[in-house]
């Protein structure tokens, strides 16, 4: 039996649902997806909190059914409980929003994916061979300036949390370094790519990114909980506070909620909530914000890890899950927040999860388990699977070439 018009709200151990049965819907994958596992999501959230997250939330939208699951604290000082509707900083999920704007400009004939990015920039990059496509796919080779900026996590953050940068200042921090590789030679994740794209979009159109986001995405899709307030430091409405871990894990978590995110801008400064993220990615893959030709380019994903389960296209990640389905979306890391936001290829099931901490690779890895629970209906392995003991390191979307212990 499938569920129609169902709304599930789960906080801690309380589950409330209203149900009405309807016939099974047509399969959106070769094998119909299992139902989401609420207990699986709860188990992931519990593990994430045991590993250091103050709280966690997940929303799954599947057809006309919605599951809202949360645990822990949205504000540790006030003791405020987490709930699945709270706003938060989405970090690198912002890259998918920027990609939509860029691909609309491609569809309008104002940008050519395979042209040199220097065609559209006020100050040229050092290598004229870097194309717009290279930037979108993290194959430009440009050094990520956040490697230096956040080499020491908390001091680096405190040094920039109230600063306002220009795009060019951030790009110059990158180009002071030798590139990671030749343009097009390899995938190398770099926030610099999407800062360059923000500058490119604004230079081509003479319109601020905030206006593009609002007019091209937020308003058309009715994303009422999504905003781009750079360089303002506050989050409005009901939101979860973010807490970043120091490189010395014996020190207290640092409240990182208020910041300009000017170090990230078009690479990481969007604010949203789980409902809006689900609506956004479902709209993307359904062709509601990007024309078919450009959407096809975005979804041409190629493997970026050794076992071929993680992929990157143009501003869009892909993940192949244990039940055989590949989901599309993006991960996000910004100080105090980890985000996973993904949808099936047809947009019929979407999931967004957030844990309000960062610089904790164990939590980040654990949170990925909500994908399996949401799309494959499975429960996670025990938390010891995710242990980082024994010297194994991890990297993140911030300072991606810096290995943490």
Please give the pLDDT value at position 389: 39
Q: What is the pLDDT of residues 51-85, one digit of tens each?
A: 999 999 999 999 999 999 999 999 999 999 999 99
* Summary mean pLDDT of the chain: 92
Q: What is the mean pLDDT of residues 184-205?
A: 98
In the predicted structure, residue 246 carries a pLDDT above the cut 90: yes
Question: How would you class 276 by CB atoms within 10 Å of its CB: exposed for 0-12, middle for 13-18, buried for 19 or more?
Answer: buried
Residue range 262-281, pLDDT digits in tens: 999 999 999 999 999 999 99
- Check residue 123 and report its DSSP letter: S
Q: Which of residues 184 and 7 earns the better pLDDT score?
A: 184
SS3 257: coil
Question: For 8-17, 72-81, 112-121, 235-244, which range has the lowest pLDDT when averaged over its residues?
Answer: 8-17
Question: CB within 8 A of 6, min separation 6: which ones?
Answer: 17, 18, 19, 20, 64, 65, 66
Instruction: Note the pLDDT tens digit of each residue in 159-186.
Output: 999 999 999 999 999 999 999 999 999 9
**Distance between CA atoms of residues 120 and 109, nearest Å:** 13
- Annotated catalytic residue 92: yes
- Strand 326-334 relative to strand 357-358, pairing: unpaired
On the question of pLDDT at 354 being above 60, the answer is yes
Nearest of 279, 132, 278, 283 to residue 201 by alpha carbon: 132
- What pLDDT is recorded for position 230? 98
Read off the tokens for 145: 């300036």
Examine the pLDDT at 293 and tell me if it is beyond 90: yes
pLDDT of residue 10: 63
Q: Which of 25, 377, 304 is nearest to 138 (CA)?
A: 304
pLDDT at 394: 85
Dump pLDDT digits (tens) for 128-158. Answer: 999 999 999 999 999 999 999 999 999 999 9
The single residue of 70, 92, 137, 262 carrying the catalytic annotation is 92
**Is pLDDT of 94 > 90?**
yes
Q: What is the pLDDT of residue 225?
A: 98
The answer to whether the Cα torsion of 188, 194, 195, 201 is positive or negative is positive
354: nearest Cα among 8, 92, 25 = 92
CA contacts within 13 A on the Cβ side of 315: 33
Beta strands 271-272 and 254-255: pairing type? unpaired
In the prediction, which pLDDT does 4 show? 35
pTM (predicted TM-score):
0.93
pLDDT at 1 over 70: no
- What pLDDT is recorded for position 15? 38
DSSP 155-180: HHHHHHTT----HHHHHHHHHTSPPS
What does the pLDDT read at residue 393?
78
Nearest to 36 by CA among 380, 372, 382: 372
Q: Say if residue 14's pLDDT is above 90.
A: no
Q: For strand 317-320 and strand 310-312, is the pairing parallel, antiparallel, or unpaired?
A: antiparallel
For residue 206, is it left (φ>0), alpha (ψ between -120 and 50) or beta?
left
Which pLDDT score, from 0 to 100, does residue 380 have? 78
CA distance 137 to 154: 29
pLDDT of residue 5: 39
Instruction: Report the range of poorest mean pLDDT among 24-33, 36-45, 333-342.
Output: 24-33
């Amino acid at each position: 039996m499938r569920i129609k018009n169902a709304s599930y709200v789960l906080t801690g151990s309380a589950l409330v649902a209203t149900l009405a049965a309807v016939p099974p819907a047509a399969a959106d994958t070769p094998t119909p997806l299992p139902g989401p596992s609420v207990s699986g999501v709860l188990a992931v959230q519990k593990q994430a909190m045991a590993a250091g997250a103050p709280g966690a939330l997940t929303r799954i939208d599947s057809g006309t059914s919605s599951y809202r699951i949360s645990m822990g604290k949205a504000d540790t000082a006030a003791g405020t409980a987490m709930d699945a509707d709270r706003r938060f900083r989405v970090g690198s999920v912002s890259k998918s929003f920027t990609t939509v704007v860029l691909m609309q400009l491609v569809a309008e004939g104002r940008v050519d994916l395979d042209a040199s990015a220097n065609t559209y920039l006020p100050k040229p990059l050092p290598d004229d061979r870097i194309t717009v496509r290279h930037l979108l796919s993290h194959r430009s080779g440009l050094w990520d300036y956040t490697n230096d900026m956040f080499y020491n996590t908390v001091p680096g953050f405190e040094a920039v949390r109230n600063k306002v940068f220009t795009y060019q200042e951030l790009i110059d921090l990158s180009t002071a370094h030798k590139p990671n590789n030749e343009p097009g030679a390899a995938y190398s994740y770099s926030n610099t790519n999407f800062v360059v794209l923000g500058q490119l979009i604004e230079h081509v159109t003479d319109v601020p990114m905030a206006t593009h986001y609002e007019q091209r995405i937020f308003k058309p899709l009715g994303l009422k909980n999504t905003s781009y307030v750079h360089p303002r430091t506050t989050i409005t409405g009901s939101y979860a506070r973010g807490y970043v871990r120091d490189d010395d894990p014996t020190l207290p978590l640092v409240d990182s909620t208020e910041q300009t995110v000017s170090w990230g801008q078009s690479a990481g400064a969007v604010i949203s909530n789980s409902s809006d993220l689900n609506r956004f990615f479902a709209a993307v893959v359904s062709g509601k914000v990007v024309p078919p030709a450009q959407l096809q380019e975005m979804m041409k994903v190629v493997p970026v890890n050794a076992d071929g389960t993680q992929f990157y296209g143009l501003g869009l990640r892909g993940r192949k899950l244990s039940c055989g389905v590949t989901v599309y979306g993006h991960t996000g890391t910004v100080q105090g927040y980890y985000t996973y936001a993904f949808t099936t290829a047809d947009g019929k099931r979407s999931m967004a999860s957030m844990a309000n901490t960062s610089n904790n690779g164990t939590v980040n890895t654990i949170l990925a388990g909500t994908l399996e629970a949401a799309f494959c209906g499975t429960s996670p392995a025990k938390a010891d699977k995710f242990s980082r003991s024994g010297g194994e390191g991890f990297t993140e979307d911030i300072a991606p070439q810096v290995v943490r212990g």
